[in-house]
């Protein structure tokens, strides 16, 4: 587990990027295109096997189950992606400032593939369109 040095309490959209490599378990965390923290020895040499299910916004007490509503994320999530390599800082900044629409090469955000449970609902993500108008 890594404690991410992020601050997300102002009810505005933020871009978060977490990079991790199995090599020495090095990780770094970015908020809005700026690096906020880094560390190592996070699950060093651990591999991520294919064919899994990704649970976003809910802590699980057993693998794929025992969901406790009090351990759920409250807020909005959009444009989640996973890459098989570290993105360059300029690529992360481009995603954060809406000039890039790079999609993950392992997992792309696809509304069709996202299933919602509990009180969650889906709606379209417009934060980047709003930014362009300004």
Ligand X SMILES: *[C@@H]1O[C@H](CO)[C@@H](O)[C@H](O)[C@H]1NC(C)=O
Residues that bind ligand X (CB under 6 A): 90, 93-94, 97, 99
How many angstroms separate the first and last alpha carbons of the chain?
38
Mapped onto helix, strand or coil, the DSSP state of residue 58 is: strand
- Give CA–CA dist 80/32, Å, rounded: 14
Which one, 118 or 131, has the nearer CB to ligand X? Answer: 131
Residue closer to ligand X by CB (options 17, 93) is 93
In angstroms, what is the minimal distance from the CB of 60 to ligand X? 35
Q: Min. distance of Cβ 101 from ligand X in angstroms?
A: 12
**Parallel/antiparallel/unpaired status of strands 58-62 and 27-31:** unpaired
The residue (of 44 and 97) whose beta carbon lies closer to ligand X is: 97
What is the CB neighbour count within 10 angstroms for residue 121?
A: 6
Nearest approach, Cβ of 76 to ligand X (angstroms)?
A: 22
């Amino acid at each position: 587990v890594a404690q991410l040095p992020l601050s997300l309490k102002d009810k505005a959209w933020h871009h978060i990027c977490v990079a991790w490599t199995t090599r020495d378990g090095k990780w770094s965390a970015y908020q809005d295109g700026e690096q906020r923290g880094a560390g190592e020895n996070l699950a060093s040499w651990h591999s991520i096997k294919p064919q899994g299910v990704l649970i976003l916004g809910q802590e699980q007490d057993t693998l794929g189950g025992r969901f406790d509503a009090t351990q759920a994320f409250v807020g909005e999530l959009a444009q989640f992606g996973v890459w098989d390599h570290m993105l360059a800082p300029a690529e992360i900044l481009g995603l954060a400032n809406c000039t890039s629409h790079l999609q993950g090469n392992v997992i792309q955000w696809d509304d069709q593939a996202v299933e919602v449970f509990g009180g969650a609902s889906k709606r379209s993500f417009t934060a980047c369109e709003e930014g362009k108008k300004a």
